[in-house]
Chains A and B, each alone.
Chain A
Amino acid sequence: MQDFAEAFRLAFHLVSQMDDELAAIIALSLRVSLTAVAISALIGLPLGALLATTRFRGRGGLLVLVNALMGLPPVVVGLLAYMMLSNAGPMGFLQLLYTPTAMIIAQAILITPIVTALSRQVLEDLNTEYAEQFASLSVPWATRVGALIVDARYGLLTVLLAGFGRAVAEVGAVIIVGGNIAHLTRVMTTAIALETSKGDLALALALGIVLLAIALSVNAAVMSLRLTAERTAHG
């Protein structure tokens, strides 16, 4: 199978040449997935903190639900988002279908349960450790949650990376709500799907290698940020 060698050669070629079209596709992938991560952080972290620090009726059921939602198939999320955003759907008036915003919404729906469930776990572990000390200090709930989020920052960073990984790698949701429109909503994964359906397996695999490289660089960037922060910033 010379396709493998060909794919790596092509991937290298793609990256070294980096034409405008590929650059735009990479930029859109990053923009869509990073924004989705930011939104899911704004929703999922407080929700995870709420689940981690409070006991209320129905909490157990909610935990099971959130954990189960981590397994949502992207294509189902895409379908749901399509039905909401379609002109025949309840939010059609927003005119968001086949736009990057629709893709962001779909990915945010997809990864918010992941961010919620995993941050709940991270924060609950830390809360268990801090609980008695915080009770002794009579720390109010909001301050407690804030302190937990700040102190669990590295664990939560990994949670957000997990969300990013899932978002940037999924194709099922974005292809339905984005439509894989050239120059408008085409991202790395839908481009890979397109090249596969054209039978250009080497190019598809090469794009896959590029996508992996992007994911690697994002992870490396976050890791180095963390290391720098640990070394220099303890004020």
Chain B
Amino acid sequence: MRNTVKLLATALTLGVAIAATTPAQAEDKSIIVQSTTSTQNSGLFDHILPMFEKATGIKVNVVAVGTGQAIKNAQNCDGDVLFVHAKAAEEKFVAEGYGVKRYDVMYNDFVIVGPPADAPGVAGSNDAAGSLKKIADAKATFASRGDDSGTHKKELSLWKAAGVDVKAASVDWYRETGSGMGATLNTGVGMGAYVLTDRATWISFKNKGDFKIAVEGDKALFNQYGIMQVKPEKCPNVKAAEGQSFIDWILGAEGQNAIKSYKIDGQQLFFPNADPGEMKQAG
């Protein structure tokens, strides 16, 4: 009997001990980057972060959520650097005093993917708004992120340009998943719905089924990523020096080349476009 209690107690203390004895939760030098699912899910961070960590010894911890949530988290001071893709929202973030300064880092583009049947006949088009109008007219199912992410904001602006009121079509043929890019693609493929996605996520996505890119190449589908430091004046906990060295690195030649060198099946996923002149100013 006493032995049983001892065993039980041992099991309990063991649990606590395991927790207590594991190494400190974060290395001495580390930063938290609030970023988006597209950069994470595409594997970009797995490719470039080891290079940065090797060069500087600073560990980068990425929290990958939708752009809306990433900005909200950064506003709560729960991050040192914000690395997202919704330029207007990012500029607002800086203007409201949460961020130091926003820089362009890289771009890729959005594409509309869809089922091979292609009832609205949009396959091969390079006119995003026009294609969305066709999809709406045909009442072909469209799966939206519906989560206030960068991709969602972009999609809404495209519908606006197409002159379609998607709110009215909600549930009918317009479906809001309220989830991340990957989950929305899973849903879209499952229900045969068109989906707006960034190209990087699409290329690295493994559950494409028979879906193909239907619409691409429109200037309106441009997808710009920006980076900015969370303002130390607003958030005293911000690791300003470490955060700045990450920004410096990713905007500099090393970081830009690292982004350029990331490929899946020979396809480049992101195109670096930091402005070297701006960099000098910042440096």
Contact = CB atoms under 8 A, between A and B. Distances in A.
Interface of A: 30-32, 34-35, 37-39, 41-42, 86-89, 92, 95, 97-101, 104, 150, 153, 157, 179-182, 184-185, 194, 196-201, 222, 225-226, 229-230, 232-235
B1 A87 contact: no
Contacts of B11: 222, 225
A129 to B, nearest CB: 17
Given A86-B78, A92-B237, A100-B19, 5 more contacts: A99-B25, A182-B46, A184-B26, A199-B185, A201-B207
Contact of A225 (B7, B45, B62, B207): B7
Contacts of B63: 98, 179-181
Interface of B: 1-5, 7-8, 11-16, 18-19, 22, 25-26, 32, 37, 40-41, 45-46, 61-64, 73, 75-78, 180-183, 185-186, 204-208, 235, 237
Contacts, number: 121
Nearest to B2: A235
A170 to B, nearest CB: 17
Q: Which 4 A-B pairs have the closest CB atoms?
A: A197-B182, A233-B3, A199-B207, A87-B77
Contacts of A185: 61
B183 A41 contact: no
B76 A88 contact: yes
19 contacts: A30-B18, A32-B19, A34-B15, A38-B13, A87-B78, A87-B237, A98-B32, A99-B25, A153-B4, A179-B63, A182-B46, A197-B37, A197-B182, A198-B182, A199-B185, A199-B186, A199-B208, A225-B11, A229-B3
B15 A35 contact: yes
Contacts of A39: 16
Task: Summarize A's interface: helix, strand, loop or mixed.
Answer: helix
Contact of B1 (A35, A150, A200): A150
Task: Summarize B's interface: helix, strand, loop or mixed.
Answer: helix
A197 B46 contact: no
B35 to A, nearest CB: 10
A199 B1 contact: no
Given A35-B18, A98-B61, A199-B205, A87 B41 contact: no
